[in-house]
Amino acid sequence: MSALLNVSDLNAWYGESHILHGVNMHVTEGETVCILGRNGMGKTTTLRSIMGLVRKRTGAITFAGQDVMAMPLHRTARAGLGFVPEERGIFASLSVDENLMLPPVVAPGGMTLDEIFQLFPNLLERRNSPGTKLSGGEQQMLAMARILRTGARCLLLDEPTEGLAPVIIDAIGAVLRELKSRGMTVVLVEQNFRFASKVADRFYVMDHGVMTHEFPVGELDARMGMLQETLGV
Amino acid sequence: MIFGIPLQAFLGQLLVGLINGSFYALLSLGLAVIFGLLRVINFAHGAQYMLGAFVAFLALKFLGVPYWGALVVAPLVVGAVGALIERTLLSRLYDLDHLYGMLFTFGLALAIEGSFRWYFGASGQPYATPKALTGVFNLGFMVLPIYRAWVIVASLVVCLAVWALIEKTRLGATLRAATENPSLVQSFGINVPMLLTLTYALGAGLAALAGVLAAPIYQVSPLMGSNIIIVVFAVVVVGGMGSIMGAIVTGYLLGIAEGLTKVFYPEASNIVIFVIMAIVLILRPAGLFGKEG
């Protein structure tokens, strides 16, 4: 089975600093893949380079058979990739509703507003509040919800649980399992190892700008020693 | 009598202030729209205002396009020229310091005004008030030329329409979001470079519209823009850079303040706006409607 997302020999730079040194990874349709690694190893840069937010990059990225590298930034979403940034990117001058409706629908098959409010009931109550009046957890849900509306086929999710209370983290885990049951493909960057082990099918471990290990969730226990060493958990 | 000033003189200057304020509001609105999204201080705004008046003047002279047609044609022509300039030249400067955008538009203004002055001379060309708007309203206590009433109403309607476009519509929400985080908005699949071009065109078009409205009042002259633009920059600073409602309200308020100063202390009427600007900058550096930080 050929991969939905294919990344090969990806190098990327922020200004003069060379961050990614030949990243290779692939993600199959419907799979939830988690990138683990310590801070500053290039996890966020990997997602931002796939999305096209980091422009200084070399190598090859294909998504659903299309060459993503050649696309201007506003075409990547149209190809079916959706990005939820670590800082959530909720717009302060927009209401919750305006934030939710901001990304254009790129393909059929996205969630309807009813489905979204069923999944995130908090957002319905706060539709008319300014975006930044939401709690951190609500902002995270809004950042995910607005991409789920668009019909994106693959979600790039950067540290969705960062700074959130355990009960909210459980809720986000439930959302990810629901998405998986709907066939959504997810690339997850996580530091919260326990959370990741509950939602991911497969793991990459990232170190100094390259993927050093790759293993399915079944091998998790056997790999604990290596993970503790590399991640410092 | 108000404070020893005859009522007629008071209301007359209030009206002059409102008229000037109408132009300040329209022009500072365009500047605020452009600055909000492009982060460019558009020094060519005065030249675009002047171009609007000249398009009206030339279209009437050579093509017989009447005033009402000019109200539509001039903003479209100047907006299109603005779009072309943004796409081919200004957009190349976004990755550099904002100062380059300011320098570029300043140079552009000098070039446009210089060539018009070379071709048309520095003196003004008359532009007739359209027939339907000649005459006066006699309000009893004063005489109000119909054209001036029209300018006030037209400016108010256009300002409120642009405000509603930005604050109340989906397109406006996209513009506001792109002001906060353009690359994230673009990653959603929205063509932000195109949005920047259209925004610059909108700002230039608004300046041109103000130019057409001004043509029957102030005459059409190559220097009409550079005369007014310095005051308009002061309006934007007082209102708060990038604040849409701030630019509109401050435009009218400062126009009125200027008019009333002519009644109470005529010697200061040319500097009152700058005095207010200095005071606002000391007390509230972000402007009356601007957000701190």
The answer to whether B51 and B78 have CB atoms below 8 angstroms apart is yes
Closest CB to A73 among B174, B180, B187: B187
Mark yes or no for CB contact B188/A150 under 8 Å. Answer: yes
Predicted pLDDT of residue A50: 97
Q: Quick one: pLDDT band at residue A233, thresholds 50, 70, 90?
A: low
Distance CA B180, CA A146 (A): 17
Arithmetic mean of pLDDT, A37-43: 91
CB within 8 Å: A91 and B177: yes
pLDDT for residue A40 is more than 80: yes
Range of weakest confidence among A83-92, A181-190, A222-231, B271-280: A222-231
Q: How far, in Å, CA of B113 to CA of B146, rounded?
A: 31
User: Any idea where the domains of chain A sit in the sequence?
Assistant: 5-231
Size of interface A-B (CB pairs under 8 A): 61
What count of other Cβ atoms lies within 10 Å of the Cβ of residue B227? 12
User: Rounded distance, CA B38 to CA A31, Å?
Assistant: 40
Closest CA to B162 of B1, B293, B36, B7: B36
Per-residue pLDDT of chain B (293 residues; tens, 9 = 90+): 667 778 778 888 888 899 999 999 999 999 999 998 898 999 999 999 999 999 999 999 999 999 999 999 999 999 999 999 999 999 999 888 888 999 999 999 999 999 999 999 988 899 999 999 999 888 777 788 999 999 999 999 999 999 999 999 999 999 999 999 999 999 999 999 999 999 999 999 999 999 999 999 998 999 999 989 999 999 999 998 878 999 999 999 999 999 999 888 888 888 999 999 999 999 998 889 887 54
Kindly determine whether residue B189 and residue A77, on different chains, have CB atoms separated by under 8 Å: yes
The pLDDT assigned to B292 comes to: 58
Q: Say how many CA atoms lie within 13 Å of A46 toward its Cβ.
A: 36
Best of B91, B170, B183, B187 to mutate (most A CBs within 10 Å, chain A): B187
Furthest C-alpha separation in chain B:
63
CB distance B189–A150 less than 8 Å?
yes
Order of strands, edge to edge, in the sheet holding A81-84? A81-84, A154-158, A185-189, A32-36, A202-207, A210-216
Question: Which domains are seen in chain B, by residue range?
Answer: 7-283 (1.10.3470)
Torsion of CA A146, A150, A156, A158, to 10 degrees: -10
Question: In the beta sheet, which residues pair with residue B284?
Answer: none
Architecture of the A5-231 domain: 3-Layer(aba) Sandwich (3.40)
Residue from A47, A56, A63, A74 whose CB has the most chain B CBs within 10 Å, to mutate: A74
Exposure b/e, B133-146, CB count within 10 A at least 16 = b? beeeeeeeebeebe
Which residues is A61 bridged to in the sheet? A7
So what's the pLDDT on residue B1?
63
In the predicted model, what is the mean pLDDT of chain A?
93
- Candidates A137, A186, A134; CA nearest to A162 is A137
